[in-house]
Amino acid sequence: MDQQAVDAYREAYEAWQNQLKQVHAFMLDGEPLHPSRIKGLLNREATAKERYDEARKMLLGIGE
């Protein structure tokens, strides 16, 4: 397995999980967040998820 793909996958997964924790803290745990920051929070999570999906595809050998 390509070590670079493995490293990229792990990094993308960890970054996505960190963003997801913040979303869960706000949405599920009721952590207060100023309304002007909600859109940014959701955009960062979505972007991190996209990077994870791409890294996963590359790891599996189905990337473009």
- 28: which DSSP letter? T
Q: How confident is the model at residue 1 (pLDDT cuts 50, 70, 90)?
A: confident
User: 19: how many CB neighbours lie within 10 A of its CB?
Assistant: 21
Q: How confident is the model at residue 64 (pLDDT cuts 50, 70, 90)?
A: low
Tens-place pLDDT, residues 4-57: 999 999 999 999 999 999 999 999 999 999 999 999 999 999 999 999 999 999
Buried b (16+ CB within 10 A) or exposed e, 43-60: ebbeebeebbeebbebbe
pTM equals 0.89
Spatial neighbors of 24 by CB under 8 A, at least 6 apart, are none
What is residue 57's predicted lDDT score, i.e. its pLDDT?
95
